[in-house]
Amino acid sequence: MRMETGKRIAGACSILIAGGFLAGCETMKVAGVSKSSESEKNALVKKVLTYSVAHYMYNIASGQQMWGDPKLDHAALKKVKKVAILRFGVQSYSGTTETGGNGVNFTYTASFDGNWQPFAGKAYDQMKTAFEQNGIDVIPADAVTSNAAYKAFEIDKPAGYQFTAYALRDFAPATSYVRKGLGFGAKEYSIGNATRFQKLGKALGVDAVMLIVGDIGLDASGVLWFSKLHAKLPGYGGKPDHGLMVDMFSADEPKLIWSACTKKDIVVPITSKKDLMNDFLNSYNEVAQLVAHKLKLDMDSN
């Protein structure tokens, strides 16, 4: 296992806040996960991953807890043996300035070349394999897309992700299904949508369903898996709401029961411009293995 952390140079990853700059986003390189010992993987999971903002918001909106890390429902999690991935979206950011949550601007100065649609399918295969290697059965994508209940599933609106794997539908990420403000009706909204995912899980014959999205980006200093950190900003519990996010909803009860999200920017070492997609896939595979290992750890915990 190899892990390197550091600070990006000023200007290469800058966040504009109220006229000032918060420069030096933390970055991390991850490699050699498959060859790591169990204890090394455990440590790396804690360094690289956290829970998703959707999980945090769901617990608040549903009235389960008002602060702190989401408490895992170990009983519900231990029942999960077979899952369906309902969506697998990939968004690329390059050469643009985007206004994100809380009015934060993100600027990218490089650009992507070519069609990145194949990346979505290959990344899906890597994530599916990682879960299966850790004892979780993932039903094939065509078993999901051909299901009548999945076809009829009503969505609020497409999320706008550029690339989706194997014709999986591009509907809003889990965050949109649990964050309806924290005022009147928030609990009903969150539980209501979890109930919709529960019914869809039952129709697919699985124990749980997952929503997976990822953001990738190029910037002036190189290539990176870019998780647009909202850390230390209000409204997100100090947690990132982009990057690689995985959210799991139970098919046994209306509940978001597990999640994973990258904590920091995962830097992708470049071998050559020609092999850029392979470089991304190599790094994605490393993180996918950690996501699956996190699920195994959380399932085995008490």
pLDDT digits (tens, 9 = 90+) for 134-164: 999 999 999 999 999 999 987 765 556 678 8
Spatial separation of the C-alpha atoms in residues 224 and 269, rounded to whole Å: 8
Average pLDDT, rounded, for the chain: 75
Amino acid identity of 101?
Answer: G
Is the pLDDT confidence value at 97 over 60?
Answer: no
Helix (H, G, I), strand (E, B) or coil at 78: helix
How many CB atoms are located within 10 Å of the residue 159 CB?
Answer: 19
Domain ranges of the chain: 49-300
Cβ within 8 Å of residue 32, ≥6 positions away: 1, 2, 286
pLDDT tens sequence across 239-289: 445 678 899 999 999 999 999 988 877 778 777 777 788 888 998 999 999
pLDDT at position 114 is: 64
Q: How far apart are CA 204 and CA 143, in angstroms?
A: 8
Kindly report which listed range (38-47, 93-102, 257-266) carries the lowest average pLDDT score. Answer: 93-102
> Half-sphere exposure of 214 toward its Cβ, with a 13 Å CA cutoff?
28
Query: So what's the pLDDT on residue 191?
Result: 80
Which ranges of the chain does DSSP label H, i.e. alpha helix?
38-48, 53-61, 74-78, 117-133, 141-145, 148-152, 174-178, 186-204, 276-300
Q: Residue for token digits 């617990």?
A: 59
> Is the per-residue pLDDT at 77 higher than 90?
yes
What confidence score (pLDDT) does residue 18 get?
23
Does the pLDDT of residue 106 top 60, yes or no? no
In the structure encoding, which two tokens stand for residue 289, read together?
């293995």
pTM of the model: 0.82
Starting at the edge strand found earlier in the chain, the sheet holding 14-17 runs: 20-23, 14-17, 105-107, 97-99
